[in-house]
Chain A
């Protein structure tokens, strides 16, 4: 398995929407390389015949009656938002106009 380097971390930080300084990228790359190295053995632990487990105690068909249950008022839903306008979340521009 490939080792993780500084360019990888910069790419991943962009995907995860976390701005990182040059110093932070250097440090994070070093730490993650050690962690990734230590978890490598996992890929050799199980053969192709072993099924994956996504949930420890799987439940199937968990449904409820199709009726309106508990809902928040618009005021409650917006109560923790950094910015709101006329009953809606107010967000910065989605597209760069430049």
Chain B
């Protein structure tokens, strides 16, 4: 138990070191995480599918290569044998991909996403597929057709969304790493509310081939982890040009791990975005944010204030562009080529009516809302006023960023205006739900990279607060440099990682020899250990 506990709580970087030194085997590491999933996922529900056999087979292969030694062992990727979870919006051969939707229940992709191919090339065991809001549409995972994920800090609260499954898996020590996708904050906002790290790379920096598209001009795959360095390590596995994605940037990948290891921010200018804090932000969020600013200032950074006046239009423009693109992307779910087909109950059995019945039964409410909204925004007579205007706002937001980055190397804000709210609290108020993404959306609109890292716990509810860093396009390395420094300063204050303060989720074990897989005692406890 103690040994397993140490393995599951280790960072990916630490695990990689232990594997390379042959202190542990990849099978032991992978099994420890599978045991943890068996022990706690009944309560957390981060996973929609667990990939036990394949994960252990890949781990065994890594162990065999290491044991044999020689060139093949030396050529192993640094993260070989370090397991990972994959958001169920990203297609994988050998496992179902549902996108959190009934319309794809049980569907198996005939191909792997490029990022999954890269995980396989690095021989990282894939633990399974994580839960999400249906087609990544939401900020809480409550729009998943397979039930919500629960926040490991408080099982009655949301884990953020859409990538709540990936963030919760990492926060609950079910996986050291995960892949997410971020269209308006779906990597960063779950990171903020679960006390984990999440990065949205520069648009085009990581291939989108094999990510089921919601809004093609906004979607971006990125890393989810517990430390800044781990995200840098994963970013380097998945990043770089891919000819299968025509929006993939041809630039060579920067050395992000080196950036995370620089260890100082002296002389850097860090800009506070006037419009992204203060009114509308929870007091505890604001307090932790201000503390992070103080730490960066003490470390030698220069804090400046910047103004991005057009950010006030970002949310509205996003809720025109995203549904417009989504309504078009989701037209392919027609009951013909893949997924569900539902026949109308009576009347003529034409393709039109089969499509109508299939999409009525297969899509959830939020997906329907966004498809209708997008169809409206793109319809004749409204296109200029809605979609056209929203695209102009994108230009204004880009200009705001350009002006801000003329004054600062990196921008900083809270990641989300509040800590995790209760499951169900905003489910019947779509507009209130949309406001969770107010601070994360501008980055997607402009294509710039963003990173969220834990900033501490809010005084009023003891729940994690996220701090967001933003850099100019193609300057992702700056996020890792500043993020790693801020993380080490904060952890020095806390006396360890923030997740040390999270509930254990399993019953305290009286017998150290008991396996973590025997979850009966854990399952009997409804809300895990104490804070």
Where the two chains meet, the residues of A that have a C-beta atom closer than 8 Å to any C-beta of B are 1, 4, 8-9, 12-20, 24, 28, 31-32, 34-36, 38-43, 45-46, 50-57, 59, 62, 64, 72, 76-77, 79-83, 89, 91-98
The tally of CB-CB contacts under 8 A between chains A and B is 186
Q: At the interface, yes or no: B52 with Cβ under 8 Å from chain A?
A: no
Cβ of A57 to closest chain B Cβ, rounded Å: 5
Q: At the interface, yes or no: B369 with Cβ under 8 Å from chain A?
A: yes
Where the two chains meet, the residues of B that have a C-beta atom closer than 8 Å to any C-beta of A are 107-111, 202-204, 217-218, 243, 246-247, 249-250, 310, 313, 316-317, 319-320, 327, 331, 334-341, 343-344, 348-357, 359-360, 363, 368-369, 371-373, 375-376, 379, 382, 385-386, 388-396, 398, 430-431, 434, 444-448, 473
Residues of B within 8 A of A79 (CB): 108, 110
Chain B interface SS verdict (over half): helix
Q: Contacts A38-B431, A45-B313, A55-B217: A18 and B371 contacting too (C-beta < 8 A)?
A: yes
Q: Contacts A12-B379, A18-B359: A43 and B385 contacting too (C-beta < 8 A)?
A: yes
CA distance A92 to B348 in the complex (A): 10
B316–A38 CB distance below 8 A:
yes
B375–A35 CB distance below 8 A:
no
Residues of B within 8 A of A38 (CB): 316, 319, 431
A56–B398 CB distance below 8 A:
yes
* B109 and chain A: residue at smallest CB distance: A80
One of A42, A57, A94, A95 near B316 (C-beta < 8 A): A42
Residues of B within 8 A of A59 (CB): 204, 246-247, 249-250
Q: Contacts A18-B359, A42-B320, A46-B395: A81 and B373 contacting too (C-beta < 8 A)?
A: no
A56–B445 CB distance below 8 A:
yes
A56–B447 CB distance below 8 A:
yes
Residues of A within 8 A of B444 (CB): 56
Q: Contacts A12-B375, A39-B316, A80-B108: A45 and B431 contacting too (C-beta < 8 A)?
A: no
CA distance A50 to B396 in the complex (A): 8
Highest count of chain B CB atoms <10 Å: which of A36, A51, A59, A92: A92
Cβ of B314 to closest chain A Cβ, rounded Å: 9
Residues of B within 8 A of A40 (CB): 316
6 A–B pairs (Cβ distance < 8 Å), ordered by A: A42-B386, A50-B392, A52-B392, A59-B246, A80-B109, A81-B338
| Across the A-B interface, the 10 shortest Cβ-Cβ residue pairs | A56-B447, A82-B341, A46-B392, A80-B338, A52-B391, A53-B394, A39-B316, A76-B110, A19-B360, A19-B356
One of A4, A8, A16, A80 near B337 (C-beta < 8 A): A80
Residues of B within 8 A of A89 (CB): 336-337
